Structure 1
Amino acid sequence: MGAVFPGGASVTRLSVYPGVCAADGLAGGTPHLHLASTEAYVVIGGSGELHTLNAAGHRRTPLSAGSVLWFTPGVIHRAVNHGDLQIVVVMANAGLPEAGDAVMTFPPEVVADADRYRASVALPVDERRDLAVRGFLRLAADPAALEEFYDLAVALVRPRAGGWREIWASTVEAQTRRTGAVIDALARGDGRHLRESELVTAPQSETERLGMCGRLRTYDVRNGVTLDPDGLSRP
């Protein structure tokens, strides 16, 4: 078993949806926020925009090949596709987004009701996006509505927080502790960890899955495969 990806992060190849939203005529994904994780975009092809909303206001940031940006928990974000927008997404806290560290911007009466929220998440991709975009446009027009949405989002995910701590402890915290131990060893003149170094690769998923912002190809970075000098994976 190889080492996990640096920093306990995850890596995903994202092809942003080209379909147009009925609510405002823009192509792209479903607006949402993360409550505990920072997300980074490395744009590798195409063009588009990142629409964001937080306490500082509503912003549109152009995206093109070579763009690198990231946003912290609480930034509502929506990838808008102007033409074949391709992104490598680096997400902090591998495992947390998959465990529910994301809330879509559905109208408040949906976010306030856990059963209605789950039912809305299960809608077909286009219907789910259109519902969330309608909520996003309302939030962008009303700062008071954004405050309410933040409170509703926290209440929605609160029951999961205990499980999230376990995921975080096994990834980010574990790597931080390992780095601390290495620094302590180096301070003693101990470099034994250098003799245990590895070259690790993570296979890309063979099939795409539908995500919030587009079609995803994930990498199993929590179960990397160690490579031998000849480039073959170690049994």
Structure 2
Amino acid sequence: MTTFEGLPGAVAVSHLRVYDWPTEDGLRGGTPHLHLTCSEGYVVVAGSGCVQTLTSSGFQETPLAPGALVWFTPGTIHRLVNEDGLRIVVLMQNSGLPEAGDAVLTFAPRFLADPGLYREAATLPADGTEDEQACAARTRRDLAVQGFLALRRATEAGDPGPLAAFHKAAAELVRPRTADWRARWQQGAAAASRATGRHLDALARGEDTHLADARVHAEQPSSRARFGMCGRLDVYPG
């Protein structure tokens, strides 16, 4: 009997050291963005800070300290703030789809209206030096912070229009990629769920043959200190 051998539930795990670069509002941290199909979770392992979130319900700050577990659903704009050496284990739904495309940064509307312009602003130089990648990541972060602060000001002033327009533009921006995302979901989370269903069916029939197929997996990070949206990432295959 086939058993799903990816990480439990087809989540992905990475280790994140949140950027400590200052921004225009005096805070240090990552790049505000949202995910369109995936939930994401944080387990704080060191340091302190908070995650700022913006939804149609308003702006919120959730403190982050060692031992904290925080997660949020698709559509939540989130911005990590690093107050003192914030380090997080990140849990990402759908085999890490959030880091593989299911994210839209909070750039100004002109970027979201032009896929080429958005891609240029959001993409880091693949063959760039460490300093070039850091500069590009910081520039990208600062553009997203500017857009985030504008969305926050409008929402707190009682104007839901800019946030609703951002949601619409983000959905349109990613629409051409949904077929690829569906394939990733089918091979990951959907396959994991189907495997559990087969195991339950077998146990209900009094069968236990899948237990003899047990396997143990161990991995080291497939890449270390990669420049991510919110900080330096150690990424595990999943």
Please, what TM-score do these two structures have when normalized by structure 1?
0.91
213, 216, 227: which is aligned to 1:196? 213
Q: Distance in 2 between matches of 1:98 and 1:28?
A: 17
Structure 2 counterpart of 1:20, from 19, 22, 27: 22
- Worse-matched range after superposition: 46-55 or 201-210: 201-210
Q: Match for 2:146: what amino acid?
A: R
CA contact (8 A) 1:95 1:167 kept: no
Which secondary structure does the structure 2 equivalent of 1:93 belong to? helix
Instruction: Name the amino acid aligned to 1:184.
Output: D
The amino acid that maps onto 1:15 is R
**Over aligned residue pairs, what C-alpha RMSD do you find?**
1.4
1:13-162 residue pairs with structure 2 within 5 A?
13-21=15-23, 23-122=24-123, 124-142=136-154, 143-162=160-179
Instruction: State the one-letter code of the partner of 2:182.
Output: R
CA contact (8 A) 2:28 2:82 kept: yes
Deviations along 1:65-119, one digit per CA (max 9) or x if unpaired, are 0000100000000110001000000000014224310000000111111011011
Asked if the contact 1:52/1:76 (under 8 Å) is kept, the reply is yes
User: Whole-Å Cα distance in 2 between the matches of residues 122 and 186 of structure 1?
Assistant: 48
- Please give the secondary structure, in 2, of the residue aligned with 1:36: coil
Q: Which runs of 5 or more structure 2 residues have no equivalent in the other structure?
A: 125-135, 155-159
CA–CA separation in structure 1 for the residues paired with 2:180 and 2:25: 37
Regions of 4+ moved over 6 Å: none
Secondary structure of 2:78's partner?
strand
SS of 1:65's partner is coil
Structure 1 distance, partners of 2:19, 2:223, is 19
Question: In 1, distance between residues paired with 2:223 and 2:104?
Answer: 27
The number of residue pairs the alignment matches comes to 220
Scaled by the length of structure 2, the TM-score of the pair is 0.89
Q: Decide which of 150, 167, 176 is 2:193's aligned counterpart.
A: 176
